């Protein structure tokens, strides 16, 4: 296991496990975490031994509560026209990671914690998970995180309610499942095992096919339908086995009906 200052990182059986490791600070992010996550996502992207990543957090109280307000913003000394979204560094797609990311959320996921969620591919949560946005309570514009939620297809009304109601209203696990924010809710003590199980099943598949699928789907969100279809067709030519090639068929476990 590689331990950074704010994150734990390990690779086993083609799965990279990334664990936010500031439980005493609710796993809030800092400049250090943003830099470490940049390095980690680049490793996940470029290491051919990694097929899938699992993103999780230590502690039972929170997954991530956004920026560490005790540290504050670290970019304000820059010219205002040079400001970039610091939270973008936290997400895999910003770094062109086309390998599946399975996020396992427990406890609180607040405000900027959505940077991790918005660019994950499969999101599951524990029964004690709650999602909320504290920006409104502090008189701060909430724009970037909700835009990411809309990009994922979360209904506009739900995003607006999340952004405007502040700390006083929280999306619970069952509501998160209903609106499509997560795809599965499990007991807290089963969360990590379930995330690893999902990752293991995906990791056993042909990596070129999985990565091509991820990239085609994410890129299609920002394309007109006819362009997206053309792009997807191109990726089938790039990523599928060539005529005469017979990739080994990987048997999966017994099908599970959700």
Beta strands in the chain (DSSP E): 2-3, 7-12, 15-20, 52-57, 62-64, 101-105, 108-110, 122-126, 130-132, 171-172, 184-186
Q: Within this chain, do residues 146 and 38 fall inside the same structural domain, yes or no?
A: yes
* pLDDT band with cut points at 50, 70 and 90 for residue 247: low
Q: What is the pLDDT of residue 77?
A: 76
Q: What is the pTM of this model?
A: 0.93
Say whether both 61 and 186 belong to one domain. Answer: yes
Q: Are residues 163 and 253 in the same domain?
A: no
The total of structural domains in the chain comes to: 2
pLDDT at 74 (0 to 100):
74
| 54-90 per-position pLDDT tens digit | 999 999 999 999 999 888 777 777 788 877 788 889 9
Tens of pLDDT, residues 3-45: 799 999 999 999 999 999 999 999 999 999 999 999 999 999 9
Same domain, 191 and 230: no
Q: Mean pLDDT across the stretch 93-112?
A: 97
The stretch 87-109 carries a mean pLDDT of 96
Residues 195 and 230 in one domain: no
Contact 134, 110 (CB under 8 A): yes
**Does the pLDDT of residue 155 top 80, yes or no?**
yes
Q: Could you give the CA distance from residue 89 to residue 32 in angstroms, rounded to a whole number?
A: 11
Residue 250: band (very low, low, confident or very high) from pLDDT cuts 50, 70, 90? low
Range of the domain at 226: 205-257
pLDDT for the residue 9? 98
Specify whether 225 is located in the same domain as 132: no
Look at residue 85 in the predicted model and tell me its pLDDT.
83
State residue 209's pLDDT score: 95
């Amino acid at each position: 296991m590689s331990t950074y200052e704010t994150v734990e990182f390990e690779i086993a059986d083609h799965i990279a496990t990334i664990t936010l490791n500031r439980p005493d600070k609710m796993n809030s992010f800092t400049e250090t975490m943003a830099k470490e996550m940049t390095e980690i996502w680049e490793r996940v992207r470029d290491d051919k031994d990694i097929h899938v990543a699992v993103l999780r957090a230590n502690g039972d109280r929170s997954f991530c509560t956004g920026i560490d307000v005790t540290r504050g913003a670290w970019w304000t000394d820059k010219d205002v026209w040079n400001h970039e979204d610091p939270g973008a560094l936290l997400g895999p797609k910003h770094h062109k990671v086309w390998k599946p990311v399975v996020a396992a959320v427990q406890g609180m996921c607040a405000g900027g914690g959505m940077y991790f969620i918005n660019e994950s591919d499969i999101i599951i949560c524990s029964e004690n998970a709650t999602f909320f946005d504290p920006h409104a309570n502090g008189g701060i514009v909430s724009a970037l995180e909700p835009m990411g939620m809309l990009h994922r297809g979360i209904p506009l009304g739900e995003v607006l309610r999340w952004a405007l109601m502040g700390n006083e209203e929280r999306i619970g696990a069952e509501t998160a499942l209903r609106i499509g924010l997560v795809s599965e809710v499990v007991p807290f003590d089963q969360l990590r095992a379930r995330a690893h199980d999902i990752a293991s099943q995906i990791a056993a598949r042909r990596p070129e096919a999985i990565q091509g699928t991820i990239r085609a789907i994410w890129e299609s969100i920002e394309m007109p339908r006819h362009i997206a279809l053309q792009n997807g067709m191109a990726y089938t030519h790039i990523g599928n086995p060539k005529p005469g090639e017979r990739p080994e068929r990987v048997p999966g476990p017994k099908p599970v009906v959700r």
